[in-house]
Structure 1
């Protein structure tokens, strides 16, 4: 059983009761208000070491370099669909960290560490919302656990990726995250575009659930510009935030309700549309392809086949693919959520995931594909130089 400590909030509870607004017209549908300590309290209790700060800063720069074409490696964002077990997350990070060190010349590996899950209707909304998977919704514990897990991942030398769903969550966690995503359901949201404009990391916008790529392109353009909006600071105070704009926003092709969109034709069409629009260099240089979700019908066997198809195309010299996303865990498939002591260890409680042995095989194939693409590019460059000499 996880021993939860976390910052004390007894003073906050007393203040909330003393300053509560009269209930006649406010909080009519609120059953309870549970105070959560300000972000700074969590950061002070679970701080970053100098080595972890360097890891986060360096990996953000490296991801930006891949997205802009300054680094010819392939960005690979891989890990569980969602995190529900701190021990299994650390175990997975240890395995991935060992492989990352072997493949770092060809792949920039970032671990998926997703704590918030958008639901089409209702369901388990992630570790932050319900860390015990039992409907007790101890969000204070969930936030503390999320931060601790991110530190565990960083200690394995791994950058972390997550989806930003709630606009308040980043203040608690973003110092430990190297890459962020805005999901298909939120890609047209003004709130999330404003949020992305001020984030200190590259942000990927997924195409809408109906396959609309223009909405994600508009998000990249909007997020590259400055915004002014209400937010909170590290001390939990309401502030008016003024952002500079984020130059590292880009597109994620994740398929749609109508089917996949990872084909060579889909990528070419998306890039043509992006280059004709007002998006920045990162978005117009290439796309990230999510092999899960609509591109595989949420089937882990099919997802692995999608990754293999992408590897073959990369090896053949196809440009425009900056990165690949994979949902992977220790065990393949998925199971229904429930208390930890009732669950299969290392198996997803949300979407189906590729098992670790198959994941390792696929990552090695992607690394080999990058080497082949690099050799092909060098050969083409040499051939071009020789042709110019003869002329």
Structure 2
């Protein structure tokens, strides 16, 4: 078997052949996708999109550090499956974000990879046709084109990083990233986060452990060297300087919500003991709502009550919302425009109400701080 240095010198085709030959074990079907450089050349970052991304990164950093007293709100579909519905949602969210901009720093979820506990649709990036036939080349183009349009609307974009290769194609469009509960203990994802040029939220583990998220923050803040791809698709050693803007996301676990005051205090103590800033984000969906989209709105309002009472450790809230409430089964009946095919989401009307309530809570917190 050849060394990685030898393979890197021969280029990506040699690596594909090596995996196809059976020399490294396992069975592989290989399909060459465009290199990062090719895709970025085809769909370049426009001036308008670049301005949106830059402003979004600065905004999220300032809010998470406490230099901006607004509340970060990361909101949008569980995962994008329909580009047209995603854009329709983005246009409506952009208008609402502008209305509430004095109190909320709104970032849209544009999630194109769907982590799975077992199996299921794995997201727009891998399966853009929703037919179970992977087409990463088409998926990468579809995802990048969508993100460009959203960014050009002036909306900062959030996504979850799942595939270690995806940032080479998409990171220049992202203002806030997440490492999920299933991958927060992965060394690969901690190394990846250490080199990402945006704030990254580390979710508590799938068992509910906040300690693994704290460990992930410490790891991602340090320099790393690891195997990655350059713009031409060649394997290279990537060296990072560390990401100082990682933070905890409380997302609960099965039957174990962790959004209440005592959970926030406990997480803040863990962060403080590790000599880390205590600001954090709370995910009102997933384990904190029992994946019940109606319950999600109630959880968000309970979080808002903590904010209104003056809690300054809560710097952000995550919400899953789409145009139509609930979820639909992929391939069953006529598709419903703007309804999730993965986790159930709040509908648009409920999302508007929740965001306005969170804005009011943030105003009350600011007033309390101003009056002592």
The 1:222/1:52 distance shift into structure 2, 3 A limit, reads: same
Residue 237 of structure 1 deviates from its aligned partner by: 1.1
Q: Which runs of 5+ in 1 are unaligned?
A: 1-14, 381-391
TM, length-normalised to structure 2: 0.94
Partner of 1:312: 305
Q: Determine the C-alpha separation between the residues in 2 that align with 1:77 and 1:48.
A: 22
Q: Which deviations, in whole Å up to 9, do the C-alpha atoms of 1:312-368 show, x marking residues without a partner?
A: 2211212210000000000000011239x9411000000010000110111111111
Partner of 2:167: 170
Q: Which deviations, in whole Å up to 9, do the C-alpha atoms of 1:102-135 show, x marking residues without a partner?
A: 1111100000000101110111010111111111
SS at match of 1:363: helix
Q: Determine the C-alpha separation between the residues in 2 that align with 1:150 and 1:42.
A: 13
Q: 1:362 aligns with which of 345, 354, 358?
A: 354
Partner of 1:373: 365
TM, length-normalised to structure 1: 0.89
Q: Determine the C-alpha separation between the residues in 1 that align with 2:54 and 2:239.
A: 22
Partner of 1:144: 141
Q: Which deviations, in whole Å up to 9, do the C-alpha atoms of 1:36-92 show, x marking residues without a partner?
A: 010111111111122221211121011111111100000000000000000000000
Partner of 1:29: 27
Partner of 1:322: 315
SS at match of 1:20: helix
Q: Determine the C-alpha separation between the residues in 1 that align with 2:118 and 2:215.
A: 26
Residue 273 of structure 1 deviates from its aligned partner by: 1.1
Partner of 2:327: 334
C-alpha RMSD of matched pairs (Å): 1.6
Q: Determine the C-alpha separation between the residues in 1 that align with 2:328 and 2:228.
A: 37
Q: Determine the C-alpha separation between the residues in 2 that align with 1:236 and 1:23.
A: 20
Is the contact made by 2:249 and 2:280 (CA closer than 8 Å) also made in structure 1? yes
Is the contact made by 2:177 and 2:199 (CA closer than 8 Å) also made in structure 1? yes
Is the contact made by 1:160 and 1:178 (CA closer than 8 Å) also made in structure 2? yes
Tell me which moved more, 237-246 or 309-318.
Answer: 309-318
1:123-162 superposed matches below 5 A: 123-162=120-159
Partner of 1:251: 248
Q: Determine the C-alpha separation between the residues in 2 that align with 1:202 and 1:143.
A: 22
Q: Determine the C-alpha separation between the residues in 1 that align with 2:123 and 2:330.
A: 10
SS at match of 1:42: helix
Q: Determine the C-alpha separation between the residues in 1 that align with 2:206 and 2:222.
A: 25
Kindly tell me the number of residue pairs found equivalent between the two proteins.
360
Is the contact made by 2:257 and 2:288 (CA closer than 8 Å) also made in structure 1? yes
SS at match of 1:225: coil
Q: 2:274 aligns with which of 273, 277, 295?
A: 277
The 1:18/1:377 distance shift into structure 2, 3 A limit, reads: closer
The 1:81/1:134 distance shift into structure 2, 3 A limit, reads: same
Is the contact made by 2:16 and 2:30 (CA closer than 8 Å) also made in structure 1? no
Q: Determine the C-alpha separation between the residues in 1 that align with 2:365 and 2:22.
A: 66
Q: Determine the C-alpha separation between the residues in 2 that align with 1:73 and 1:323.
A: 9
Structure 1 runs, 4 residues or longer, greater than 3 Å off: 15-19
Is the contact made by 1:182 and 1:203 (CA closer than 8 Å) also made in structure 2? yes
Q: Determine the C-alpha separation between the residues in 2 that align with 1:20 and 1:45.
A: 27
Tell me which moved more, 33-42 or 289-298.
Answer: 33-42
The structure with more radius of gyration: 1
Partner of 2:6: none
Does residue 352 in structure 1 map to residue 344 in structure 2?
yes
Partner of 1:104: 101
Q: Which deviations, in whole Å up to 9, do the C-alpha atoms of 1:263-294 show, x marking residues without a partner?
A: 00100111011101143xxxx23110000000
Residue 258 of structure 1 deviates from its aligned partner by: 3.9
